[in-house]
Copies of this chain bind each other. A is one copy, B any other.
Amino acid sequence: MKLLDLYAKMKGDLNGIEKELERSVRDEHALLSETSVHLLKAGGKRIRPVFVLLAGKFGDYKLDVLKKVAVPLELIHMASLVHDDVIDDADTRRGQPTVKSKWDNRIAMYTGDYIHGRALSVAAELKDPFVHQVLSSALVQMCIGEMEQIRDFFNTDQSVRNYLLRIRRKTALLIAISCQLGAVAAGAERKTANQLYRFGYNVGMAFQIRDDLLDLYGTEKAIGKPPGSDMRQGNITLPVILALRDEGIRESLLHEIAAIRQQGLYADASRAIGLIKNSVGGSLADELANRYIAKALHALQQLPAIPARKNLMDIAHFVGKRNY
């Protein structure tokens, strides 16, 4: 099944999530409602809710219960985006003005805090303390990931392991627990929930590697901004780390990265990108993404062959595809 068909099939339940998302952030306080709804309307693929719902199919599927997990996870993701935009000084995201540019940094900061609070309020409607433990520990790990990203800005000596740990915290963990908690909320067996965690973790890793590749190999039209924005921000991603290992281009690439650092957010990254494209960085990163997808598919094979399993496979294949 194509991904669009999957979304079409899940439309009813995803609309239910969408309504709950909006309800959860609406408040008598006009400005906070406005900034939060602005964020919601800016869209997104709602991939975390999709994972929650599909994982829920492995147990006793009840939308009303699954909502209470899907909404906090999507809200936590949204809150991290508002705070990221403050850090990155980003004016647009997905083609829409960011909260920090439409209002200001202070309002973006409190909007993020507010959405965090709302996320936890919704989750608190569930009685299972395990859900709270998993959510709060994910919040902590995500902050550590963000701090590591700041610490490693323009660090051209970082290891692949460093990068993998960082994207695990920044991206893969939240996708992993979306799958896990969907199953837990549906009362699925612990073994099933763990297997789904493994699936989500591996898909999340592949997803972030693909996203980092897209930022270098994609066209401006596909990305919505000039390629190389990670590098301009100082975020040294996997293809760059791998390209730097290539003795033939290492010195020139280091030189280009230093120049980008000096020029700041509007630097021209095209020469650096050209060097990376001439290295094996891209294809090695590609290979690693494929390995994560293979692991994700392997995790699925341990699960009962219900239609949701096929849907998760399709998503994994979609994430695995080169998107540039």
Contact = CB atoms under 8 A, between A and B. Distances in A.
Interface of A: 27, 29, 31-32, 83, 86-87, 105-107, 109-110, 112-114, 116-118, 120-121, 123-127, 129, 132-133, 135-137, 139-140, 142-144, 146-148, 150-151
Contact of A27 (B117, B118, B142, B144): B144
A117 B129 contact: no
A118 B142 CA distance: 12
A-B interface, 7 closest residue pairs, ranked by CB to CB distance from nearest: A117-B139, A120-B136, A117-B140, A114-B143, A124-B132, A121-B136, A124-B133
19 contacts: A27-B140, A29-B148, A32-B143, A83-B109, A83-B110, A87-B106, A107-B147, A110-B143, A112-B113, A113-B116, A113-B146, A114-B147, A117-B143, A118-B136, A121-B137, A123-B132, A124-B137, A127-B129, A132-B132
A220 to B, nearest CB: 27
Q: How many copies does the complex hold?
A: 2
A72 to B, nearest CB: 10
Contacts of A110: 83, 87, 143, 146-147, 150
A46 to B, nearest CB: 22
Contacts of A105: 105
Nearest to A114: B143
Contacts of A135: 120, 124
Given A120-B132, A133-B124, A136-B121, A31 B87 contact: no
A197 to B, nearest CB: 18
A255 B144 CA distance: 47
A81 to B, nearest CB: 13
Contact of A32 (B116, B117, B121, B147): B147
Contacts of A117: 136-137, 139-140, 142-143
A151 to B, nearest CB: 6
A143 B150 CA distance: 25
B29 A144 contact: yes
Given A113-B113, A114-B147, 5 more contacts: A109-B109, A114-B140, A117-B142, A117-B143, A121-B133
A161 to B, nearest CB: 14
A218 B83 CA distance: 37
Contacts of A137: 117, 121, 124
